[in-house]
Structure 1
């Protein structure tokens, strides 16, 4: 059996080079983790709104309008969930990339093509997660824009906007404005 001595271990300069090569994938992994945390926080807030709308749907007479809102929130939650899964897969690839880089350089093996492939896969998966996040953000924006437009149209049609008193405030001699 062959002996493995201290000569097989890399020297301090080689170790410093190995760690410097691992810095970029480590920062990439940190960015992926922050992105997953952001999307997870957004999904948590969305889940709380889903529960609130579900409770309102049971208690409220405008159940049809609430059901539409519920479906929209559920679609957004599914989109965010898929985005989180893509980002997590990207993080797994980045972790494998770190392991391959460190292990191959430590052992003196060639790893360029494998590392490049893992980085490409991690980047594509992160891009897919970003796309899903953008899709959900766009849906949230369009919902808010629709609610603002609806609110403005209601304000224009309200009795106060027309300069008359609401029916509850009309005196006995004044006709009901509605």
Structure 2
């Protein structure tokens, strides 16, 4: 069975249709970079507190459970954003494969786009939760007047 190759006009149309998912992919990549930066700061702080707690022999520092909770939220946000990027990549691949084989792809692509945005939104929610915890850290450590 010979496959009828798509025309340049048809491929151009698919490229314009996947422009929004491509922008989403770029945004998710930048977002994951931001999340990893925040995670690195939390992990560095945890390591410093563990070292201090080990030196004092007084047990664990009271901020360690709080920082662990932040790390868990950031890790969850990174996983959700990465899943969003994977689904978005699959969406772009599906659009081109369906064009090549001349399958209808509109419903599948729309569904994958909604799924990708849902994962991205959940990741943003976890970032907001982590940011609220980090602000709690700041208010918890106010200098006494």
Q: In which range does the TM-score fall when normalised by the shorter chain?
A: over 0.9
State the shift of 1:113 in Å. Answer: 1.3
Q: Using the alignment, how far apart are the partners of 1:45 and 1:146 within structure 2? A: 18
Deviates more, 1:115-124 or 1:10-19: 10-19
- Residue 77, structure 1, aligned to residue 67, structure 2: no
Q: Using the alignment, how far apart are the partners of 2:53 and 2:94 within structure 1? A: 52
TM score, norm. by length of structure 2 = 0.92
Contact 2:6 2:99 in 1 (8 A): no
Aligned to 1:19: 15
State the shift of 1:67 in Å. Answer: 2.2
Q: What does residue range 25-64 of structure 1 map to in structure 2 within 5 Å?
A: 25-60=21-56, 63=58
* Higher RCO structure (Cα 8 Å, ≥6 apart): 2
- The number of residue pairs the alignment matches comes to 145
TM score, norm. by length of structure 1 = 0.76
RMSD across aligned C-alpha pairs, in angstroms? 1.6
Unaligned ranges ≥5, structure 2:
none
Aligned to 1:132: 126
Q: Using the alignment, how far apart are the partners of 1:30 and 1:45 within structure 2? A: 23
TM superposition outliers: structure 1 runs of 4+ over 2 Å = none
Unaligned ranges ≥5, structure 1:
157-178
Contact 2:88 2:113 in 1 (8 A): yes
